Structure 1
Amino acid sequence: MHRLFTQPIRITDEVIDTNGHTNNLAYLAWMQEIAMAHAAACGWTLERHAQEGTSWFIRSHFIEYLRPAMAGDDLVLATWVAGFAARSSPRRYLFWRPHDQRVIAKAETLWVYVQAATGRPLRVPASVQNAFEVIEDEEEVMQTLVVEFSQP
């Protein structure tokens, strides 16, 4: 079980927008990629969902951009499951720059558990809930990032 899941991101010229910083669509793509990687690491691959006849749909995204990320920046993207409701689960994200220990952006996605064939919401089964350890406190995430990724 991976309580907090992280991946490094190097900001490249390809994701820079006309304002000279990282395009918001890049953040969304990274959020989806890391959510899927985290789920797979916890045993819920796309193949397993297909076998179960289930999937997750996104109901909403919220992103708060705190600082710009520029070409050449090295970031750490962290994600975690923040809880479970009957048919949904909020997942949170932090885009963090280790070199100055600054949060670049915070985000949350509300994922809805559905029957794949119909898109109809389903109850999130215990087998899914038990695969993920919930982190409710963002401060715990920040402490982990500082300890694991701070550069001397």
Structure 2
Amino acid sequence: MAFQKELVVAHDDLDDLNHVNNVRYVQWIQDISKQHWQTIATKKMQEEVIWVVLTHHIEYKRAAVLGDPIQISTYIASSSGAKCVRIVEMIHGTTKKLLVRSSTEWCLLDSITYRPLRIPEAIKKIFL
């Protein structure tokens, strides 16, 4: 199930070329991933486990500029063992053209020991 949010490009999001800085896109990927987890996971789940990034693969398709509306969506594409792959797509809110697509591999850790944990069925189910 996809989780979505919208934003509008602000001046602080821009780089020296006056389009959204690549670092800002990474921040937005992190932000929507965290918001998705915090929205659907129980308080107990959030206390017992944490997610850490193993890899990011980001495709920059088109530039966004000041004032552009952006629709961001994310979902879990697959999971195995302690890892899952999360997709994030950013689409221009007016043109509906793809701006950015990322695939991030996350690892589930015990919040106390920081050791990897096999993703429990209860967590897999909340992402369906």
TM-score (norm 1): 0.79
Match of 1:41 among 34, 39, 43: 39
Q: Does 1:9 align with 2:4?
A: no
Work out which of the residue numbers 76, 101, 120 in structure 2 matches 1:106.
101
- CA separation of 1:32 and 1:14: change in aligned 2, threshold 3 A: same
User: Between Structure 1 and Structure 2, which shows a larger proportion of strand residues?
Assistant: 2
Structure 2, unaligned runs of 5 or more: none
> What does 1:1-152 align with in structure 2 at a 5 Å threshold?
3-44=1-42, 48-50=45-47, 52=48, 54-133=49-128
CA root-mean-square deviation: 1.3
SS at match of 2:80: coil
Opposite residue 71 of structure 2, the aligned amino acid is V
Q: Which runs of 4+ in 1 moved over 4 A?
A: none
Q: TM-score, normalised by structure 2?
A: 0.93
Match for 1:40: what amino acid? Q
Identity %: 25
